[in-house]
Structure 1
Amino acid sequence: MSVTIKDVAKKAGVSPSTVSRVLSNHPRISRETSRKVKIILDEMGYHPNIMAQSLVSKTTNSICVILPKSAEELFLNSFFMELVRGIVTQANRSGYDVVLSSGGSEQEEVEVVSRLINGKRVDGAILLYSRKDDAVVEFLHSNHHPFVLIGRSEKYPDLLSVDNDNIQAAYDATKHLISFGHKRVGFVSGPPNHVVSQDRLKGYQRALEESGLEMRKDWIVEGEFLQESGYRAMSFFMNLPERPTALVVVDDFVSFGVLRGLHELGFKVPDDLSIVSFNNISIAELSTPPLTSIDIGIYNLGYTASQALIQSIQHNGEKQFQKRNIIPHRLVVRESSMISVNGNNE
């Protein structure tokens, strides 16, 4: 015969409603009571009836994560996997399950989210990136569904979101190269409809302007967050009559393509071209040469987004939380940028 909440409550010396609150991680239950009840739950081998709980509480204790539409972008770029790791870790600690989903287009993404939330299969959603005029954001916002955006929305600046100061981060990356004497600094960007690409471009532009340096359109190349974009960019850059001596690259994974393209063309980093990248993924220090990169706290971005969404769900609008959460960044200097334009190692 299966163990019931009443059985657990009797042994723990608490009410059945207290056991239910412990199971739902209710914030008003003390740590001591929660710990005692959880020990007894484990001892008695209690397994909650999720379907029954959902009918009573009208919640699912599940959240969904909307993944990039490109499977290649997701599974090859460890940035997204590290984000998801942070999300899942925090969700599990809060007693929530995570549903991963995707769509081949924005409209398909809207349909997926609508099916999951309106079908009462999840309580809220996390979007891993922000786009201009994003149909998914529009749907969630207009229907008042709980969600968190990793990034920022130009249209709705007061959305619950987790982000970096990407303008400042790109400014810092560009100024680092300028400090080594570089006056011809290029930029390898991401998709132009992604807000993070726009913000990092703004930071790059601001650093050039403050330093009195020229910003040339032929030194800016747009692409996807994929190695192939960086690889193709090198065919373009290194055939210019006057090419950059340094590059700010929007993403580490794109930088790996840059390094591959330069190697095949017979150029060396940082001797012929210095590079500063973004994200500081785990294998950035293992590339040849190791990449100078802006560490944006990827795991912390995911963890904080999960935490913010679950708090919002649990309090159901009763409490005002900080809407915009900014995760600090830092420049991690490695060999890809540690040479001045006169060829001296610094």
Structure 2
Amino acid sequence: MRHTDPAPAHTGYRADDLVTAVAAAIRAPSMHNTQPWRFRLRDGGIDVLLDPQRGLTVADPTGWAARIACGAATFNARLALAVAGRPARVRLRPGPEPELAARMTPGPPRPATYVEQDLAAAIAHRHSNRQPFWPDPVPSPMRVRLLEAARAEGAWLDLLVGTTAFAGVAEIARSADRVLRRDPAYVAELMTWAHSDAARDGVPTPSGVAAIPGGPVPHRPYGEGPHGHDREPEPLLAVLGMGGDTAADQVAAGQALQHVLLAAHDVGLAASMISQPIEVPGAREQLRQAVGRRGVPQMVLRLGYGVRGRPTPRRDPAEFIDD
């Protein structure tokens, strides 16, 4: 009988691996750029945790947006570790601790793939573009790349085709935005995260735009930033969803969201997120019916071409690491 040596044990992550992961993870998007995550080394793995002190009590009472953000941060960390030759196995919501979103443990060492290298290179440059997009259509090969990115993380992505589909989802988004803006507490909370350029969290007010007059989709009113014209042509709208809506599904959706956003940046597309239809339960159900899915929508995306902006600021990576 032929005997084989057992597979070598993979040593746990070290402090420098944690720093590598965190530096990439914190470039993920989060609602109002609250940066609601923390990271720690534990039992040889890297834990990604929600930071309850940075939650949005009005806009995100269930923690959905924070879990989406932590999932996106997990995806960035995965890429950074893979490029460093320390790829991770990821378990979502691996224990009873309510703040624990994901745990990464070392997998077999291997070189990073070309796709991983390209996506990792996009991390530092990806940002939400809140300015009007140009009328140029998104070519079919790029659309396929976005669909594959979502599918790779167990999610689905519906790219809206046709005027009727676009108009229906756009109206759902505008209606949800109107509902949210009628709540003074919601607006007050939003404005607490409209910061100066010197701030290291929140959204710099020059990058915000009021709702574009006659625009097809709503924009957060972080400030009265300039925009190029009064009427935005119809951008490409996409709905990202999962089969379920558990806490683990939401973290997984965050990974899929970040994979799609990085893939979009890699092919030269601009993007922004429209979460209002997800924040209003009735609108979310309308959105699900509009796309004809049995699963649960987790985010609406606006995609196209536009003037490149700059990433929003981040706090120092050391501030996110627990002892």
Indicate the TM-score class for this superposition, using the shorter chain for normalisation.
Answer: under 0.3
> Is the helix fraction higher in 1 or 2?
1
Q: TM-score, normalised by structure 2?
A: 0.25
Q: TM-score, normalised by structure 1?
A: 0.24
Which structure's relative contact order is higher, taking Cα pairs within 8 Å and 6+ residues apart?
A: 2
